[in-house]
Amino acid sequence: MAYEAAEQPPYFNIDPDRALAELGQPTSTGGFAEIAAACARGREDLASRGLNEAGQKSLRLFSTWEITKYLIPVAVAHFRRVLKQNPALPQGQSETEGGAKWFTLDEVLRLRAHFASEGSKAKEYQPYRPKGVPAKLVAVANFKGGVGKTSTAAHLAMSAALDGYRVLVLDLDSQGSMTSIFGGQVADEWQTVFPLLARHYGSHLQAENRARIARGEDPLPLDDTLSEAMKVTTREVIQSTHWPNIDLIGAQLNLYWAEFQIPVWRMQSRGWKLWDALTEMLEADGVLEDYDLVFIDTPPALGYLTINGLAAADILLVPLGASFLEFDSTGRFFDMLHSTFASIETGENMAARALGRDELAFEWDAVRAVVTRYDGAQQGELAALMQAYLGQTLSPHKQDFTALIGQAGEQVNGIYEADYRDFNRETYVRGRMTFDQTYAAFKRLLLGIWRRDELAAEGPKSGEESRELAGSAG
Ligand SMILES: Nc1ncnc2c1ncn2[C@@H]1O[C@H](COP(=O)(O)OP(=O)(O)OP(=O)(O)O)[C@@H](O)[C@H]1O
Ligand SMILES: [Mg+2]
């Protein structure tokens, strides 16, 4: 707060006795429980304001204006005509007699499917996705906190869902922010990825025990947790959300326990490939065929959960602000990524070479740093410098700082859940553009990768053509 020039600054003349009078008693361990309980009551109060009677989040409706501008590329008049001609299609609901028509997202998806099958083949009603390939996994990570990991992951998940993709969101952060955004209900660690990781270890232990028994050694017992986990499948921990085409594997505080449990398992059995746990469980349960995209939100740390998420990912996005401190610590994050994955490869490959097996080499389809909360007026110079040093690794699109994120209200999360009528139309359009562009930059990356996969699957001849294509485009 500003003070008069004649006044002294606020940190002079603080009276110790008055400070003591304001202080209160020291805090004991029990004090934390009281504070936590007060937070929980407040949280419940806040959360209840955005939920319907059943305690479930609900998604807003979408207007004809919004559908024809943002979701299905048709002219309003044509849209209305097609609906009129097809009474079996969702007709929407209006708040007033003859007023604008509003549709649920489920209805929008049905309408889009109709246009895709009946409408002009020249138009992109359904987003590109090669047939018969599993979902792409996208991890959003940075060990620096508050850089926009969760906001970026949540907005990308929502944009992709609006675009027509089937999305699974995986929360690896025991803070559970992503889970709250999608209204997830997680009672304990058994409704998170924890049992999947435990099952992966349990299966490894069972295989190892067979070898032990064959050698005449005693098997290592599976404790209660592992035995219980052996029965859990990925589909059991997936919950649906208030978005018809977004599902969730949630997180809550107990998930943090995995950070202590995983190293214990690893000590017990050195051969356990913990970094494969997540990928192999999702694959084993056939989940990757059910989705187009899996977005993985990670905690601000490079712990075992993050390593699992990163190892599972095809695409790695690293959000950071265009500030010196964030650039600096992001550089160190990449350094940590290098040493972590290099040491896993070295450890594995000594054994692999000795046994004449294939060597382990991690590979990501693409790794991109993404500038978030960008303020062009203040940060242009730093962003240009970052671009110069990072080159292609830095996504050319910068996600602007937008007040719309914080303002959207407690019951909605981010721009796509907000009702545009709550904002000045221009403010809305600009705010939405920020995240539409973040999505467009991501989708460009995704389509390039899918196309590369598709050409590779078609065989070497097409590969040759694709190189020619790439050459002529460059
Ligand atoms: N483009 C943006 N414009 C304005 N505010 C933003 C933007 N992106 C994120 N924020 C805000 O910045 C804060 C941190 O964002 P977020 O929670 O996504 O970061 P995070 O990296 O997931 O944090 P953590 O490390 O704690 O998981 C939030 O208050 C969020 O609303
Ligand atoms: Mg977060």
Written as one string, the DSSP assignment of 144-172 is STTSSHHHHHHHHHHHHHHTT--EEEEE-
Using most ligand atoms within 8 A of CB, pick from 150, 255, 325 the residue to mutate for ligand 1.
150
- State pLDDT tens for residues 332-382: 999 999 999 999 999 989 888 888 888 899 999 999 999 999 999 999 999
Which residue in 454, 173, 137, 452 sits closest to 280, CA to CA?
137
- State pLDDT tens for residues 249-283: 999 999 999 999 999 999 999 899 999 999 999 99
Q: Under DSSP, is residue 322 helix (H, G, I), strand (E, B) or coil? A: coil
Q: Under DSSP, is residue 305 helix (H, G, I), strand (E, B) or coil? A: helix
Instruction: Tell me the average pLDDT across 39-67.
Output: 80
Q: Are 275 and 190 in contact (CB under 8 A)?
A: no
Cα separation of 97 and 133, whole Å? Answer: 47
For the full predicted model, state whether its pTM sits above 0.85: yes
Distance of CA 26 from the midpoint of ligand 1 (Å) = 33
Place of tokens 């999305």: 167
The pLDDT confidence band at residue 474, using thresholds 50, 70 and 90, is: very low
Cα separation of 119 and 426, whole Å? Answer: 31
Give the ligand 1 atom nearest the CA of 299: 27
Give the ligand 1 atom nearest the CA of 434: 1
Please count the residues of the chain. Answer: 474
Distance of CA 152 from the midpoint of ligand 1 (Å) = 8
Which residues neighbour 403 within 8 Å (Cβ) at sequence distance 6 or greater? 431
Which residues neighbour 432 within 8 Å (Cβ) at sequence distance 6 or greater? 70, 404, 415, 416, 420
- State pLDDT tens for residues 434-468: 999 999 999 999 999 999 999 988 877 544 555 55
The pLDDT confidence band at residue 473, using thresholds 50, 70 and 90, is: very low
The pLDDT confidence band at residue 197, using thresholds 50, 70 and 90, is: very high
Cα separation of 83 and 91, whole Å? Answer: 6
Pairing between β-strand 93-94 and β-strand 101-103 as defined by DSSP bridges: antiparallel
CA angle 287, 106, 178 (to 5 degrees): 55
| Pocket, ligand 1, Cβ cutoff 6 A | 145-151, 173, 177, 300, 372-373, 399, 401-402, 405-406
